[in-house]
A = this chain, B = another copy of it.
Amino acid sequence: MKRSSPRTLPVVPLALSLALAFTVAGAPAAAQESGSWSIGERIVPAPAGASDALRSALSATPAPNVAASKQQTPQSDEQWLVMQKATANANLDQLASGFGVSIEKDEIEGVTVYRVAPGKVHPRHTDHLFLHVHGGGYVLNGGDASVTEAAMVASRAGIMALSVDYRMPPEHPFPAAVEDVVSVYKHLLENRSAKSVAIGGTSAGGGLSLAAVHRFIALGLDVPGAIYAGTPWADLTKTSDSLFTNEGLDRILVTYDGFLGAAARLYADGHDMKDPLISPVYGDFEGFPPTYLITGTRDMFLSDTARTHRKLRAAGVVADLHVYEGVAHADYLILVGSPESEDVFAEVSAFFKTHLE
């Protein structure tokens, strides 16, 4: 199952549908004629300081509906599985073509993985690998869909990527996902140096990458050369300030008290949610590799990202925080090709080139 084809650009719809599947957005609330959102008593205009692409997209989107989002949460394992299945599809040919990469499905230590090769490997990355961990609240966006972000990074950075299709609840709750990432990483270390590997992803993928590095250190493994933590879900409890301050402003996550909280409970499966392997912000970050963190002013994980950044800095780790104007959770994966998205991947690419060995 190997795919390769020249770069075309039918990728936005795919990424969009992926994100919308994750959103579980409710029916629209009020939208002003001007493109402003009415949220309770507040009028919040589309961000004038953002790019035209982002501002237009936000103007065209109804205000997030918190009340409706709270209602639309799966109530049984069967309902979760329906949703999981619905978000596991991607057209790999289209994806490969859109990003000018080849994609090959494989298995490592019993874990499904996708190998992604860019059209051209950057000279700095001849021996490097991006170990990608997909997002989706630990429940969604598995299967073929898991490879989307890996294709973006591989294409932009000119780096080989390996995307881990880790096991997920309801069938495989914590610690299955962490175990799968650890298995694949240990296998990689048989044939390459840890410092040649960057690990990372967005949302749950960012959180799981951080959790996995906690586990690598506990197991005495060498740590990777760099971490890419895109708006990481670093705290599954309802603690972070931005879960409150950005509720209803983040058009992707909308509210904790719906899909997010339910996914957290489903994944943790009764374990203490403050276990650093579940909520990595509670761990000890000493010995972590250089870490690149991304969030936005409307991101409900702004605080998860900022709190992780502070803990990394307190541990003396090289950690680079980036906040994008008007950007909600993972917007850079949705508005592919927007200046904000291009900037994110250019910065991540530069960070890998600086830190991988």
Contacts and interface: CB of A to CB of B under 8 A. Distances in A.
Interface of A: 40-45, 47-50, 235, 239-242, 244-247, 249, 297-298, 302-303, 305-307, 309-310, 313-314, 320-326, 343, 347
B297 A325 contact: no
A298 B241 CA distance: 8
Given A303-B325, A321-B321, 16 more contacts: A45-B244, A47-B240, A47-B241, A49-B240, A49-B303, A50-B241, A240-B325, A241-B298, A245-B297, A297-B303, A306-B324, A307-B325, A310-B343, A313-B322, A314-B343, A320-B320
Given A321-B322, A324-B306, A297 B242 contact: yes
A323 B44 CA distance: 22
B245 A298 contact: yes
Nearest to A295: B323
Nearest to A50: B241
Nearest to A245: B249
Contacts of A44: 244-245
A234 to B, nearest CB: 10
A302 B242 CA distance: 13
29 contacts: A40-B41, A40-B42, A42-B247, A43-B244, A44-B244, A44-B245, A45-B244, A47-B241, A47-B303, A48-B239, A49-B235, A49-B240, A49-B241, A240-B325, A241-B297, A241-B325, A241-B326, A242-B297, A297-B302, A297-B306, A303-B325, A306-B325, A309-B322, A310-B325, A313-B347, A320-B320, A321-B321, A321-B322, A323-B323
Q: Is the interface of A mostly helix, strand, loop or mixed?
A: mixed
A56 B249 CA distance: 26
A230 B49 CA distance: 20
Nearest to A238: B48
A343 B247 CA distance: 28
A309 B323 contact: yes
A43 B325 CA distance: 25
The 5 closest A-B pairs by CB, nearest first: A306-B323, A47-B241, A40-B40, A40-B41, A241-B297
A79 to B, nearest CB: 29
A245 B307 CA distance: 20
A330 to B, nearest CB: 17
Contacts of A303: 47, 49, 297, 325-326
Q: Which of A41, A47, A49, A347 has the most CB of B within 10 A?
A: A49
Given A239-B49, A323-B321, A245 B245 contact: yes
A323 B297 contact: no
Nearest to A302: B297
Nearest to A306: B323
Contacts of A242: 297
Contacts of A50: 241
Contacts of A309: 322-323
B310 A324 contact: yes
Contacts of A43: 244
A116 B330 CA distance: 46
Nearest to A323: B306
Contacts of A305: 323
Contacts of A297: 241-242, 245, 302-303, 306
